[in-house]
Amino acid sequence: MIYSRITGTGGYLPEKIMTNGELERIVDTSDEWIKTRTGIIKRHIAAENETTCDLAEHAALKAIAASGINPGKIDLIIIGTTTPDVIFPSTACLLQKRLGIHGCPAFDVQAVCTGFIYALDIADKFIRTGAATTALVIGAETLSRILDWTDRSTCVLFGDGAGAVILEASPEPGIMSSHLHADGEYNELLQVPAGISRYPEKLKNGTAFIQMQGNEVFKVAVNTLGRIVDETLEANHLEKEDIDWLVPHQANTRIISATAKKLNMSMDRVILTVDQHGNTSAASVPLALDVAVRDGRIQRGDTLLLEAFGGGLTWGATLVKY
């Protein structure tokens, strides 16, 4: 039987750092309020000439180097992003050109903060069916482009970045299962209410910004992530103590703590980067994974639970034997 395993990880954050102190000078907020409500200390912001594809390329090259493969071996590229460089071509196609790869499928997945989990599951299914052998899967975002810097409820939360993994066919299980969900009934809780065919004038005049009903999003996130923990464990006939590491979407520390509590897991077994990265949407899970792999916390053979929640509303989890 064919499985897929993560053989390399990579991450990239823009050089520019924006601290809570800097935000205090441009919007009515405080360092203490941001840290208390979100756990965020700083976030990275893409330079004016830096695009989502630029961030994805940096992360991809690190993942390729970590896996030791020749880029020509890659036969599938998927990028989870809600902030593509252009409407079309896809950011995946733009990256494919930069990497000098020709002919293989390359496409974007739009599931907002759950985008990487969706993309990882799709790549896993490609490999399990024999349609691909080596996939480059990325979460990359430049959310700073769609932030209203006068809205203190959103501009303090988000940052830019990219994370990547190489997924290869293997006789040994790696991706053990994925569980994806969505419910458009809650679409207005977290949205950018403008686009190509709806209120395009907001795109033209630069007023297409993230809008969020924070308290409601928090409630739904905690409930849905709690349920998906149970769903994932049950599907794999595992107990809570069988999970070595929780690698969550980095939305805020309160949501992450609630998920860890559901697993009866101490926070020292949770990969936390939200304090340093902010919420990087689809990039947050692969970025956190890369950080923990590179600093030695996550070791080969560990069992990981990756989970995320985002606009749509979408949510999902992937169980990984690393």
Q: Which of 44, 58, 113, 179 is catalytic?
A: 113
* Catalytic residue flag (residue 249): yes
Spatial neighbors of 97 by CB under 8 A, at least 6 apart, are none
Residue matched to tokens 């595992």: 238
Q: Which of 44, 58, 249, 277 is catalytic?
A: 249
SS (H, E, C) 268-296: HHECCCHHHHCECHHHHHHHHHHHHHHCC
Structure tokens at 266: 């101490």
Integer angstrom CA distances of residue 289 from 22, 132, 272, 318: 28, 23, 10, 12
Q: Which of 58, 155, 179, 279 is catalytic?
A: 279
CA separation for the pair 156, 27 (Å, rounded):
9
- Count the neighbouring beta carbons within 10 Å of the beta carbon of residue 174: 18
Structure tokens at 10: 């990579």
- Count the neighbouring beta carbons within 10 Å of the beta carbon of residue 36: 11
* Catalytic residue flag (residue 181): no
Integer angstrom CA distances of residue 141 from 43, 79, 205, 282: 13, 10, 21, 7
The dihedral through the CA atoms of 126, 104, 96, 142 has a sign that is negative
* Catalytic residue flag (residue 113): yes
Q: Which residues are catalytic?
A: 113, 249, 279
